[in-house]
Structure 1
């Protein structure tokens, strides 16, 4: 009985992944090409115009994070456009499987984003005649994946609770509050900036520990986010 239930659950999750994939590619090949080309193109352009490798790496991670985060929002927008009738027959069994399938699809996309960032930084390093070590490229890729997983975990309950546009407004407002708080603390407390610098130095010295800690935070965030999303989504009468 449990084996059958597990098989049905896995089938449902795979159906949701297939559904999200079909939604993603439904915008056409040009959209997919632009989506995957803009980060490498932008980072290589920065490298060719004399930017430092650190700034290029930051731009690559930020560009990939923003682009793949928008993909998450696009999936929810698509669901409300009534343009997915042609995908009838692959709808998941229940909302729990739908949420798990959405997270699985996003994590797969996050892994792709990590590879994209690593390749972009490696290409930029070649252009700048500053070869990037394999370990550094892996670190950049891991940081991209972990950052995106955390961002998606934070954003997901907003998207299940509100419309995509209202969710975006709430997310932007939250980011503004956080940034404003950090800026205020830096101005009001000189020790705060020194503490941040010390923390950054500690992370750079112990990258493996930092990544492991980040991974634990991501796992906890995913569990917490999925439970909140299920509670919100399950209470909707749709």
Structure 2
């Protein structure tokens, strides 16, 4: 556990680029804080209508996902300073590095999701237009936590397998398949709007259901991702 905790601290230092663990946390919290400040400016200037709030929420969520991509790249890129690059190798084993890296990102994304919850509750109107704004806030923050966790689980084995730039290209190519599949799906004789709306109504009818299903999905995907990362990293020369 001590080795994993040390790896978590080292990865946060690498991400912050300042040799301070708390700087990485502040960087991840900066996205929802920026959103709150922008919402305050919109309110003071009278430009805080529903459309503007929705656009701001979408922009803040996109910034958070972009920050996660930058986090993954920053953790795996080779630094010019050899001491910084190698300070996590010994006495930390490769398994400790893998587990510590996953734990570090989960912690950062969890902290960021708490910031998202504050941003959504105080600075936006509910996307789901429900009466229980607390529930909608939890669903919004949990959804972003699930999405960012899944993106990291998909990207990490690629970065253990390939060089950072190549891994990023492959990762972006995989993301590019999503709109292509959506385009292909739109050509099928199926009312996708009604289909997805029925699924969302079923999932969000209770708060416990999406939380349990989301947690189970994250655990399952992370376990598969960790197994792949460990096997790939074990065969890789340092």
TM-score range with shorter-chain normalisation? 0.7 to 0.9
Distance in 1 of aligned mates of 2:142 and 2:134: 12
Distance in 2 of aligned mates of 1:16 and 1:217: 25
Distance in 2 of aligned mates of 1:86 and 1:229: 22
Matches within 5 A, 1:10-49: 10-27=1-18, 36-42=29-35, 44-45=37-38, 48=42, 49=47
* 1:11-57 Cα shifts (integer Å, max 9, x gaps): 2111211211221232489x866653344324653672334455444
Distance in 1 of aligned mates of 2:159 and 2:88: 22
Distance 1:160 1:86, change over 3 A: closer
Distance 1:13 1:35, change over 3 A: closer
Distance in 1 of aligned mates of 2:82 and 2:15: 11
Question: Is the Cα–Cα contact under 8 Å of residues 146 and 214 in structure 2 kept in the other structure?
Answer: yes
Deviation beyond 6 Å, 4+ runs, structure 1: none
Matches within 5 A, 1:125-136: 125=124, 133-136=133-136
2:81 equivalent in structure 1? 83
SS across alignment from 2:80: coil
More deviation, 52-61/150-159 = 52-61
Matches within 5 A, 1:61-210: 61-77=61-77, 80-86=78-84, 90-91=88-89, 92-125=91-124, 133-210=133-210
More deviation, 58-67/145-154 = 58-67
Distance 1:57 1:202, change over 3 A: farther
Distance 1:73 1:211, change over 3 A: same
Q: CA deviation at 1:69?
A: 3.2
Matches within 5 A, 1:194-233: 194-233=194-233
1:7 equivalent in structure 2? none
Question: Is the Cα–Cα contact under 8 Å of residues 40 and 116 in structure 1 kept in the other structure?
Answer: yes
* 1:164-212 Cα shifts (integer Å, max 9, x gaps): 2111111111111122111221133333443222212222323421221
Aligned alpha-carbon RMSD (Å):
2.9
| TM-score in terms of structure 1 length | 0.80
Distance 1:51 1:143, change over 3 A: same
* 1:149-177 Cα shifts (integer Å, max 9, x gaps): 22111111011111221111111111111
Q: Which structure has greater helix proportion?
A: 1
